[in-house]
Amino acid sequence: MILNGFDWVVLALYFGFTIGIGLYYRRRAQGSTDEYFRGGGKVSWWVAGTSMVATTFAADTPLAVTGIVAKNGIAGNWLWWNMLFSSMLTVFFFARLWRRANILTDVEFAEYRYSGAPAAILRGFRALYLSIPVNLIVLGWVNLAMVKILGQVFPDLMLFGMSNKMTLLALVFGMMIITAFVSTMSGLWGVLVTDVFQFALAMGMVIALAYFAVAKVGGMDGLITKIQALDAAKAAAGDTAAGAGGSLLSFTPDLNSAWMPLTVFFVYIGVTWWASWYPGAEPGGGGYIVQRVLCAKNEKHSLLATLWFSIAHYAVRPWPWILTALVTLVLYPDLQDKEAGYVKVFMDPEVFPIKLRGLMLAAFMAAYMSTIATQLNWGASYLVNDFYRRFAVKGMSEGHYVNAGKGATVLLMVLSIAVTSQMETIAGAWKFLMAVGAGTGSVFILRWFWWRINAWSEISSMIASFITSMFLDFYYFVEIHPMENSDPHRFAYTVLITVAVTTVVWLATTFLTPPEEKAVLLRFYRKIAPTPTLWGPIARLAPDVKPKRDELHNLLCWAAGCMMIYMILFGTGKLLFGEVKTGLTFFVIAAISAGVIWWDLNARGWAVITDDGSTDDIAPPAGQ
């Protein structure tokens, strides 16, 4: 692809506007680490929620969805659609509790809920583990994905005598430097506001791409006819891997299919979402999602932010990607790299208008930079607040720690560049690191609601899940009971065994070790006021605390929220594919579910379900 003068003007305006936002918010970030990493806790729900969505919209996300649809049809997206159950738990059970804690990072929670050396060790370990190895691999992965995208756009570009690959790496690193500059200069406020701008740009362009792509194949009727022809050809060849009965258009998997049999599907919808730690969908909340929750102006805004994120993430974003993915199967059926089909569509002048290609490239850059900015700011918050300030250099001024945050941001940027250059050799490290989080979800959930959970519960769960996962992955399924990596049953058995072993270990550890100090538990109980059902011994020591017994209300809202979003998701799909009655029926169910949530929250009263008695208007304030 050769960019014309207008394209370069568009890209220049995009970068200029992004840098301008950073300059505008630079003074606001200088006052304290609370402003720099948490926005001072004054962020409106729609800004915080949109920032969450923008962060999870990485440059390679549309490509990944394209690969999923090409392999397993629309139903293949259940690989991530199942995480909605976890997201809605965060909305109705945990968002308000996190905001009530009023801490700077979720890692700080270790010494807020626990005490002594185990709590300090847990906080320090998670600060370093999440900010360096995990964060750097995410950054490296996103960088590599952007290199892949630019490689499709500029297959022959070579600058200053460098090879094409080195030229593309240099371009990506240049974007990262600009992103780090904005993040370093303006702190979280700059990241949040650029996220809103970048998400609007990225979503607008992927919708435009889907429109032109579908039009190219004869509209929705033409797309459906051509996909059905592909289904018939696959069925004739004996290939029924995709969807129910081999249909690429099915919304649910055939439970007798090879890629997601009944056992595996039940593991996804019944176990994985609450048992396994995953960035952006942590059981009980965590990571950059909690960073946005903590920056919300109050508990009401924290709940609404996570609710908006869940709606946008699962119900709003997927269909433009899915439609374009289906079009790539029609236009480029023989393409070996199915993910690359997404980029090929917007590069094809017969599909996508040439005049919009600069905006499309800017949209990919926006998706990339939004994710990078969050990862840098979030990782730096752990390094400074939970390691440097806590263990290395204590008692310095706020200005000192703000400058340390800037230095940590630059350090993470430099390290991620080094990781990216070696990414091909360490790609397997992601699975290795993720093993630490498998099976730990129940502890992350119950630590809010059961007084007996202690620091050793978390530590033992991480150790047990890591050892069990490694044993299964590298020995049991290789030597004792060989199974291919691609066999979905291997994943299901690994999850089930790891969860079972980890649960036994952390429960035994909990009862074999002493509980946390009563003073620490009382402080936590008085501040958070969790439902008292499993806090009996502590609740009796604080009869003046009157926590709300709202478990059933929250459970009702959780179920209604899941139903609402799934019905919006599938209702939109049915309408797009011409099944109007079914689509409208789904939307009616979604409206009823939304009504149940609205009725329940208002019946209880915002002053009752939130600790601060917030009654402020939830509409986006003018000028923010």
Per-residue pLDDT of 426-454, as tens digits, reads: 445 555 665 567 789 999 999 999 999 99
| Local confidence band at 490 (pLDDT 50, 70, 90 cut-offs) | confident
Rounded Cα distance between 76 and 98, Å, is 33
Q: Judge if 114 and 98 occupy the same domain.
A: yes
Q: Could you tell me the CA-to-CA distances from 444 to 90, 285, 437, 562 in Å, in that order?
A: 11, 8, 10, 21
pLDDT confidence band for 618 (50 / 70 / 90): very low
Lowest mean pLDDT among 24-33, 283-292, 499-508: 24-33
pLDDT of residue 484 exceeding 90: no
Alpha helices for 427-550 (secondary structure H): 429-434, 441-446, 455-471, 488-512, 518-528, 536-539
449 lies in the same domain as 423: no
The reply to whether 201 and 146 lie within a common domain is yes
Q: Which of 370, 405, 427 is the last residue of a domain?
A: 427
The answer to whether residues 158 and 289 belong to one domain is: yes
Both 389 and 434 in one domain: the answer is: no
Q: Which of 243-257, 319-333, 353-367, 408-422 has the highest mean pLDDT?
A: 319-333
**What's the pLDDT at 2?**
66
Is 26 a member of any domain?
no
Q: Are residues 208 and 285 in the same domain?
A: yes
Which residue type sits at 133?
P
Query: pLDDT band at 624, cuts 50/70/90?
Result: very low
What per-residue confidence (pLDDT) applies to 238? 66
The whole-chain average pLDDT of the chain stands at 88
Shared domain check, 106 and 178: yes
As a whole-number percent, the residues of the chain with pLDDT over 90 amount to 59
Among the candidates 471, 486, 516, a domain finishes at 516
- CATH number of the domain that 112 lies in? 1.20.1730.10
Q: Identify whether 489 is part of a domain.
A: yes
Residue 133 has pLDDT above 60, yes or no: yes
Task: Answer yes or no: is 543 within a domain.
Answer: no
Which of 427, 453, 468 lies at the terminal end of a domain, its last residue? 427
Query: Are residues 320 and 379 located together in one domain of the fold?
Result: yes
Per-residue confidence at 603, pLDDT binned at 50, 70, 90? confident
For residue 369, is it within any domain? yes
The reply to whether 156 and 175 lie within a common domain is yes
Residue 118 maps to a domain = yes
Q: Is the predicted pLDDT of residue 485 greater than 80, yes or no?
A: no
Q: What is the mean pLDDT of residues 545-551?
A: 86
387 within some domain: yes
Q: CB neighbours (10 Å) of residue 479? A: 8
Same domain, 387 and 439: no
Determine contact, residues 57/488, Cβ cutoff 8 Å. Answer: no
C-alpha distances in Å from residue 128, one per residue of 141, 273, 439, 525? 19, 25, 21, 28
Q: What phi, psi does 128 have (nearest 5°)?
A: -75, -40
**Band of pLDDT at residue 623, cut at 50, 70 and 90:** very low
pTM: 0.91
Q: For the chain, what percent of residues have pLDDT higher than 70?
A: 91
Query: Quick one: average pLDDT of 49-73?
Result: 91
Q: Are 220 and 575 in contact (CB under 8 A)?
A: no
Residue 253 lies in a domain: no
Residue 143 resides in a domain: yes
Host H or E run for residue 199: helix 164-216
State how many domains the chain has.
2
Alpha helix positions (H), 237-298? 262-267, 273-275, 287-295
Query: In angstroms, rounded to a whole number, what is the distance separating the alpha carbons of residues 530 and 493?
Result: 34
Residue 512 has pLDDT above 90, yes or no: yes
Q: What is the pLDDT of residue 478?
A: 65
169: domain range? 5-19+36-57+80-219+264-427
pLDDT in tens, 229-287: 988 887 777 665 444 456 889 898 877 777 778 788 888 899 989 998 877 778 999 88
From the number of C-beta atoms within 10 Å of its C-beta (0-12, 13-18, 19+), residue 443 rates as: buried
Q: Helices 61-72 and 340-347, interaxial angle, to 10°? A: 110
Q: Which of 142-151, 234-243, 405-414 has the lowest mean pLDDT?
A: 234-243
Rounded to whole angstroms, what are the CA distances from 198 to 358, 359, 362? 14, 12, 9
| Phi-psi region at 578: left, alpha or beta (left = phi > 0; alpha = psi -120 to 50) | left
* Angle between helices 287-295 and 164-216 in degrees, nearest 10: 70
